[in-house]
């Protein structure tokens, strides 16, 4: 979507949504409690779409940390996230997105706005499957019925919710078949054209395919034939299969009233870094990783080094004087990266030590996916407005993700597709999309002088040129990387992998930067990627368990009972994950 249009729409939507807020708790003044004929469906649909992006980002944070995509404090898995930590996520789902959905469906149905209804049902299905994946059994049938007097909804079985979500998605397909006025704004696909309906249909099929793959290894099949249903959908015509189909929320660059920038950009560029990147994850993108022996073409787009050298100051990084833990393998990285990884400043998995004054030193999000800075070794700090100014995306379901999912299904479910070809397609799609974000950085095409000289010697290292000309990966470099991984697919042991599925999920892991939800599910479903950095403390417990129920739910619902840590989602068959 065009940046100016994105910023305008985001501003308009937020102003409209915020205009509905009131301090009066009278339910007649609550837009979600109004009679259907008094609700403005376009306005509420905008709020639903914003809500989808919000809940995605919130739970994506936990998934990213647990899979070492970003840093998890821990130090143990059973204390990494307290019930109170998860209150915001739960509230965003139930009091935000799902409340809007339950208000929109009857209002839009009464006005025969069936496209609105279909999108609302998609949002509902996405929300509940995500809640199940992270929390297990949750309120569903009795949820969002406070206006009917039910303020203590009971939980539904996870498998039953999955089946109900399949029904919702089938209903959404049927709603798209009905004659209807299109929404005023489609915040995901842009505009309000009939072409968008075809993209929403592909999203529906993709979400169904995703559920079928999810349960494929489980003895519990709520769909009564998940494998056959996945096989029927495994084709380009049915599923998200090109960048044009990508389901991603696009942010703008507006600073205030409202702030339309990517939330992770705000966190890292306004007042110094707010999160730590993962040492282990960044290592996988460098030539030092025991894999293709090539820098990943996405490296400088994903991560921005505010400092291009490694510190020796214990006050900045405590671990520089410590030995590698004895339970780490020789190939496991610890504390700092060396060689091609110099300057990629992050933290070890499960390092719960205090935070030193390193907010302007540690590596931060780059131009992809959050709209930060492209790294051309400029050795400068991230600052508000720099790079792409927050013009990033929430990558909820990209074609590259679907390619990897289809490759997995071809290997594990016998869908009949060519897993190797899909694996290659996914890599190329991810690399191409990532590189396309370079031009969002205002400096990417500029001819710069000293900024691109050698950051260590400060000597001129060649003709003055632009970051794009100097650092954008060539076709040859991309082909070399892809071909090396294809060779690894053919002979996994040659690159240190376990089997072809490990190779596929390992590349999905790298493509999924910014989406912790789907990679956390893939990790629990397959046990891959392998060779993840261990937790800093040995004996940190088992990874992959369901989250504790949030305190806001346990403390306000008389039917709520807290779980014992260690319960798994109904479709997970693996144990002993770390």
- Let me know how long the chain is: 578
**Residue 373 DSSP class:** B
563 exposed, middle or buried (CB, 10 Å; 0-12, 13-18, 19+)? middle
Q: What is the pLDDT of residue 293?
A: 76
Q: C-alpha angle 316/322/327, rounded to 5°?
A: 130
Rounded-to-integer distance, Cα 31 and Cα 104, Å: 10
Q: What is the pLDDT of residue 458?
A: 54
The answer to whether 297 and 372 are in contact (CB under 8 A) is: no
Going by C-beta distance under 8 Å and a sequence separation of 6 or more, which residues neighbour residue 44? 31, 100, 103, 104, 107
The answer to whether 362 and 279 are in contact (CB under 8 A) is: no
Q: What is the pLDDT of residue 29?
A: 43
* 3-state class (DSSP) for residue 110: helix
* 3-state class (DSSP) for residue 112: coil
Minimal CA–CA distance to 171: which of 123, 131, 215?
123
Minimal CA–CA distance to 250: which of 13, 518, 69?
13
User: Residues 386-430: pLDDT tens digits?
Assistant: 999 999 999 999 999 999 999 999 999 999 999 999 999 999 999
Architecture of domain 3-238+546-554: Alpha Horseshoe (1.25)
The answer to whether 364 and 306 are in contact (CB under 8 A) is: yes
Going by C-beta distance under 8 Å and a sequence separation of 6 or more, which residues neighbour residue 358? 273, 316, 317, 345
216 token code pair: 């494929």
End-to-end Cα, the chain, rounded Å:
39
Q: Sign (positive/negative) of CA torsion 42, 45, 47, 49? A: negative
Minimal CA–CA distance to 374: which of 448, 292, 288, 479?
448
Rounded-to-integer distance, Cα 382 and Cα 363, Å: 9
Tell me how far CA of residue 218 lies from CA of 137, 298, 545, 577, in angstroms. Answer: 17, 35, 16, 17
Cα 49 to chain centroid, rounded: 16
Q: What is the pLDDT of residue 207?
A: 99
**Max CA pair span of the chain:** 73
Extents of the domains making up the chain? 3-238+546-554, 263-526
Q: What is the pLDDT of residue 318?
A: 94
**Residue 355 DSSP class:** P
26 exposed, middle or buried (CB, 10 Å; 0-12, 13-18, 19+)? exposed
Minimal CA–CA distance to 217: which of 544, 578, 524?
524
Rounded-to-integer distance, Cα 259 and Cα 14, Å: 9
Rounded-to-integer distance, Cα 100 and Cα 77, Å: 33
**Residue 341 DSSP class:** G
Q: What is the pLDDT of residue 32?
A: 53
Write out the chain's pLDDT in tens, 578 residues. Answer: 445 444 444 444 443 333 333 223 233 344 455 565 677 999 999 999 999 999 999 999 999 999 999 999 999 999 999 999 999 999 999 999 999 999 999 999 999 999 999 999 999 999 999 999 999 999 999 999 988 999 999 999 999 999 999 999 999 999 999 999 999 999 999 877 789 999 999 999 999 999 999 999 999 999 999 999 999 999 999 999 999 999 999 999 999 999 999 999 999 999 999 999 999 999 999 998 865 678 999 999 999 999 999 999 999 999 999 999 999 999 999 999 988 889 999 999 999 999 999 999 999 999 999 999 999 999 899 999 999 999 999 999 999 999 999 999 999 999 999 999 999 999 999 999 999 999 999 999 988 744 555 555 555 555 678 899 999 999 999 999 999 999 999 999 999 999 999 999 999 999 999 999 999 999 999 999 999 999 999 999 999 999 999 999 999 999 999 999 999 999 999 999 99
Output b/e per residue, 37-68; b: 16+ Cβ within 10 A.
Answer: eebebbbbbbbbbbbbbbbbbbbbbbbbbbbb
The answer to whether 288 and 342 are in contact (CB under 8 A) is: no
Rounded-to-integer distance, Cα 475 and Cα 448, Å: 23
The answer to whether 368 and 220 are in contact (CB under 8 A) is: no
């Amino acid at each position: 979507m065009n940046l100016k249009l994105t910023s305008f729409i985001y501003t308009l939507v937020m102003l409209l949504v915020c205009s509905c807020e009131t301090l009066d708790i009278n339910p007649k003044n609550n837009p979600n409690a109004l009679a259907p004929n008094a609700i403005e469906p376009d306005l509420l649909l905008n709020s639903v779409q914003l809500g989808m992006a919000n809940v995605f980002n919130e739970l994506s944070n936990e998934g990213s940390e647990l899979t070492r995509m970003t840093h998890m404090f821990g130090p143990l898995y059973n204390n990494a996230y307290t019930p109170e930590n998860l209150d915001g996520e739960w509230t965003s789902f139930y009091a935000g997105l799902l409340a809007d959905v339950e208000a929109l469906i009857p209002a839009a149905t009464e006005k025969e706005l069936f496209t609105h209804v279909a999108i609302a049902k998609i949002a509902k299905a996405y929300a509940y499957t995500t809640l199940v994946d992270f929390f297990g059994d949750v309120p569903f049938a009795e949820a969002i019925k406070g206006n009917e007097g039910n303020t203590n909804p009971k939980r539904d079985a996870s498998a039953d919710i999955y089946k109900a979500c399949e029904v919702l998605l089938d209903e959404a397909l049927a709603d798209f078949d009905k004659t209807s006025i299109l929404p005023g704004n489609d915040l995901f696909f842009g505009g309000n054209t009939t072409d968008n309906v075809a993209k929403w249909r592909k999203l529906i099929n993709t979400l169904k395919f995703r559920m079928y793959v999810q349960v494929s290894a489980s003895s519990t099949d709520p769909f009564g034939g998940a494998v056959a249903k996945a096989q029927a959908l495994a084709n380009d015509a049915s599923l998200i299969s090109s960048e044009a189909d990508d389901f991603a929320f696009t942010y703008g660059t507006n600073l205030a009233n409202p702030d339309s920038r990517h939330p992770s950009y705000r966190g890292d560029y306004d007042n110094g870094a707010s999160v730590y990147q993962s040492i282990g994850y960044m290592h996988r993108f460098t030539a030092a990783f025991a894999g293709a022996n090539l820098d990943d073409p996405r490296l400088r787009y994903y991560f921005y080094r505010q400092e291009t050298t490694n510190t020796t100051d214990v006050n900045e990084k405590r671990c520089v004087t410590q030995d590698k833990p004895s339970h780490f393998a020789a190939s496991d990285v610890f504390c700092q990266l060396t060689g091609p990884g110099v300057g990629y400043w992050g933290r070890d998995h499960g390092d719960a030590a205090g935070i030193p004054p390193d907010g302007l030193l540690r590596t931060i999000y780059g131009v992809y996916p959050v709209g930060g800075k492209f790294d051309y070794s400029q050795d400068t700090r991230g600052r508000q407005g720099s790079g792409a100014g927050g013009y990033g995306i929430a990558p909820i379901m990209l074609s590259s993700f679907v390619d990897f999912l289809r490759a997995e299904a071809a290997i594990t479910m016998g869908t009949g597709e060519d897993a190797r070809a899909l694996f290659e397609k996914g890599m190329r799609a991810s690399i191409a999309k990532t590189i396309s974000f370079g031009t969002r950085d205002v400096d990417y095409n500029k001819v710069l002088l000293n900024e691109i000289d050698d950051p260590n010697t400060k000597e001129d290292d060649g003709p003055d040129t632009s970051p794009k000309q100097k650092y954008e990966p060539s076709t040859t470099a991309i082909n070399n990387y892809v071909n090396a991984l294809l060779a690894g697919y053919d002979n996994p042991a040659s690159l240190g992998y376990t089997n072809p599925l490990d190779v596929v999920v390992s590349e999905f892991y790298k493509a999924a930067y910014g989406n912790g939800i789907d990679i956390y599910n893939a990790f629990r479903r397959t046990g891959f990627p392998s060779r993840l950095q261990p937790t800093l403390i040995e004996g940190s417990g088992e990874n992959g368990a369901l989250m504790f129920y949030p305190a806001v739910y346990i403390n306000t619902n008389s039917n709520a009972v807290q779980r014992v840590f260690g319960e798994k989602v109904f479709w997970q068959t693996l144990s002993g994950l770390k």
